[in-house]
Amino acid sequence: MAAPDRLGPAASHGEGVWGEVARGDVAPGAHAVYLYALIDGAACFMEADGELDPSVRPIVHRAGPIAALISVVPLSDYCDAEAASRLRDLAWLAPRTMHHAAVLRRAMQCSPVYPAPFATLFASRDSLSAFMLAHARTLGEFFHAVAGMAEWELKASACLDGQAALDALARDAWPDWARLTPGTRYLRLCRDRAGLVAARRAVVHDIAARLAARLQPPATALRRLGFQPGSESGSDALVGRFALLVPASGASALAQSVRGLAHAAGDDGIKLALSGPWPPFSFRPDLPRLPLPAEG
């Protein structure tokens, strides 16, 4: 299943596919076209028996050389006055994001995939077709570039305020550290702990980036991913997130390479975690939505 941040609501994404349906007043009985993904129009999307919820099986909609995996959904589910609170309700959100991820997972088995964020909506099939045709060249180039590829994520975490790590930083930062009494050292660490933790974060962040770069190959491309500085991984702080584009044939080599780097990372107090595979969320080109037609 795709990571939750990769399936965030379309309104929270600054790039990728954008829906054209805004939240606001919703006419009773109105429907929208829900987009799961764009795929190569020559692909044959077939699901395994029982793999997807039969009540919301995706429809294959084709426009020129591109195909879209869609469903028709009540517009009120995503755009009425309660939509914001509904998108924060895990009981409502979880089964829908899981279904979205299942569709993407199945699509990966038959075609390169341009995954859409969760709740990407279009007003009609005609408007979606216009969008697909407008971006057909960009999508074709993207599908060619990622054919046979998948995205993996490398996370690096570290303890930032461990006594040994802070003591080592203090020795480097303060030449007189070794001559101080234990009591004076303790007081100084307490006073300047925030600065030392910030320095420790910068050091391990840089080390994590260098380690991730050593995964090319088997990865053919690497991108840094954003994260909140306070993000935690167990008792450790997250200090790096990296998206890796890897051929399907290179998955085993990637896992072996990460295991090999783990020893070097451990010497610096860094832990590595690999997850995937997913569609290439982090490597998608920007597909701006089309301007709405002018009113007569």
CB neighbour list of residue 4: distance below 8 Å, 6 or more residues apart: 97
How far is 228 from 291, CA to CA, in rounded Å?
Answer: 33
DSSP 272: E
CA 86 from centroid of its chain's CA atoms = 22
Residue 200 region by backbone torsions, left for phi larger than 0, else alpha for psi between -120 and 50, else beta: alpha
pLDDT at res. 279: 92
Q: Using CB atoms within 10 Å of the CB of residue 74, give its burial: 0 to 12 exposed, 13 to 18 middle, 19+ buried.
A: middle
Given a contact cutoff of 8 angstroms between Cβ atoms, the answer to whether 68 and 132 are in contact is yes
Q: Which long-range contacts link 25-32 to residues 24+ away (Cβ below 8 Å)?
A: 26/75, 26/76, 26/79, 26/80, 27/75, 30/74, 30/75, 30/76, 31/72, 31/73, 31/74, 31/75, 32/72, 32/73, 32/74, 32/75, 32/78, 32/79, 32/121, 32/122, 32/123
Predicted model pTM: 0.77
Given a contact cutoff of 8 angstroms between Cβ atoms, the answer to whether 210 and 202 are in contact is no
CB neighbour list of residue 148: distance below 8 Å, 6 or more residues apart: 112, 247, 248, 249
Given a contact cutoff of 8 angstroms between Cβ atoms, the answer to whether 245 and 146 are in contact is yes
pLDDT at res. 134: 93
Q: What is the mean pLDDT of each run of 10 residues along the chain (296 residues)?
A: 52 47 62 92 66 70 94 83 78 88 89 91 91 95 94 88 67 66 68 72 86 93 81 67 94 93 84 91 87 51
What are φ and ψ of residue 59, in 5° steps? -105, 140
pLDDT at res. 3: 52
pLDDT at res. 296: 38
CA dist 120 → 32, 75, 90, 92, 140 (Å): 10, 11, 18, 17, 21
- Longest alpha-carbon distance in the chain: 81
pLDDT at res. 172: 65
Given a contact cutoff of 8 angstroms between Cβ atoms, the answer to whether 146 and 281 are in contact is no
Residue type for position 115 = P
Residue type for position 55 = S
